[in-house]
Amino acid sequence: MRATAVASETSAERGALRVLEQTGTCADGLIAGFLAAAAERPSVLFSPVQILIAGPGVGSRALDGRCRQPGLGTKRPRGFQQSDTVPLAALVAVPGSLGVLSLLHAYDAHLAFEKLAAPAAAHALAMGAPQRSALLSRVGRLGASALWDPQVARPLLSVAGPPEGGLLTERDLAEVRPEGVAPLETALSPQFDAILAPWPARAAGHRRAEIIAVLDARGVLAAMAYAPDDEGVPVPDLEITMPRAAVVVRRGVPRTTPGETLECPAPIALIAAEKKPFLALGVAAKQKLRSNVLARAAAGEPFAATAWLEAAREASRGSAAFGVVRPFSGNEPKRIVLQEAG
C-alpha cells in the first residue's frame, strides 16, 4: 500500500511525505511534519498537540500533548485584580508538545528521533534562524528531556518565571507528563464509527488548529491537531514563541491547580467501517469536532470521503478540511482538501 499525507501547512505536509517515502510509519510522518512546521513558524514547537492513531498492529490510541497550568513548587501568588495589567509572562503555560512527540515515537515510530528532526533543523538554519535550528537539533538528540535541559529551560524561565510575573518553574518543565489513553469511539450507524479525542473542550472558540493527516504503508491512519499562537510570548534566545494558555491567578478566585491540563479543541477524527479505520480527517478550525456532526455523513453517502469532510468543516466553521483515505480493493490512497466556498 502506498503511504500519503496531507496537512494544513505546506511545510508540515512536505515533512511528513518525506519520511513516508523512506518507509516511515504514521508516527514518523506526524513527528517529521510537526517539526518541519516548527522550523518555519516560531509558534509551532510548544503549541498544544492532540493525536489520534489507529490501524492494523497498533490498535487505537489518543495522545494528549496539551499545555499544563504552571506553578508547581511555588506558593500561590497574591493574584491580579481585574483592574491590573496582566503581564504576558502570566499567560505562559507548560508545553506538552515535546513529551507527546516522544510518547508517539515510543508507541510506533521506526526512524530515530534525531533523523526525524534533522531536516527541520537544517531548514531553520537555511531560513536564518540559527537558535531555532539549534533547539530543533537538541530536541532530536534529547526528545522530551530537551524541555528541562539548561540550554532550553533558562531562556523559558527568563521570560515566564516568577521574576517576570509568570508562574513557570523548573519543576513544571521537568514534570510535565503527556499521556496516551483509549480514544472516544462512537457508533454513527450500524456500520460506521468515529474515533475522536476523549478530552473535553468548551464550545467557545480557541485559536485555529492546524492539521496533519497520515496513512502509512501498513494501512495505519493518524491525525494530529496543533494550535500555534502567533501572538504569544517571544523567547528571543530560542527564536520561538510560547502559547498564551495559562489561567491567570486572580485575587479572591480559586487558583487553577498547577499541573492541570488546559483545554484545547481537537477538530480531528478517524472514521472506521466495520471497525476498520479508512479515513483520517481534520478541520482547520477553532472548535472541537463532535460525533453528532459526523452522523449526517454516515446517513448519506458513507463511502464518499468528501461527505465526511464537508460535514466536519461546516459544523466546525472551519476554513478547510483535510483527509487521507485508505484504499479499498487495491485502489490508490486519496488525499482530499476541501476549502471554504468563496
Instruction: Say if residues 53 and 181 touch (Cβ distance below 8 Å).
Output: no
Mean predicted confidence (pLDDT) in 255-264: 92
Nearest to 179 by CA among 70, 64, 44: 64
pLDDT for 263 beyond 60: yes
Look at residue 143 and tell me if it is in a domain: yes
**How far from chain centre, in Å, is Cα 50?**
4
User: What percent of the chain stands above pLDDT 70?
Assistant: 96
Look at residue 94 and tell me if it is in a domain: yes
Look at residue 310 and tell me if it is in a domain: no
pLDDT for 202 beyond 80: no
pLDDT for 212 beyond 70: yes
Nearest to 66 by CA among 91, 99, 106, 103: 99
Instruction: Kindly report, residue by residue over 48-103, the tens digit of the pLDDT.
Output: 999 999 999 999 999 999 999 999 998 887 787 787 888 999 999 999 999 999 99
Expressed in angstroms, the distance from the first to the final Cα of the chain is: 35
Look at residue 285 and tell me if it is in a domain: no
Look at residue 311 and tell me if it is in a domain: no
Mean predicted confidence (pLDDT) in 288-299: 77
pLDDT at 301: 66
Task: Give the total number of structural domains in the chain.
Answer: 1
Instruction: Kindly report, residue by residue over 298-307, the tens digit of the pLDDT.
Output: 676 666 788 8
Nearest to 101 by CA among 169, 151, 159, 46: 46
Look at residue 301 and tell me if it is in a domain: no
Look at residue 139 and tell me if it is in a domain: yes
Domain span holding position 132: 4-184+209-277
Instruction: Kindly report, residue by residue over 112-154, the tens digit of the pLDDT.
Output: 999 999 999 999 999 999 999 999 999 999 999 999 999 999 9
pLDDT at 303: 66
Look at residue 11 and tell me if it is in a domain: yes
Nearest to 166 by CA among 155, 151, 150, 175: 155
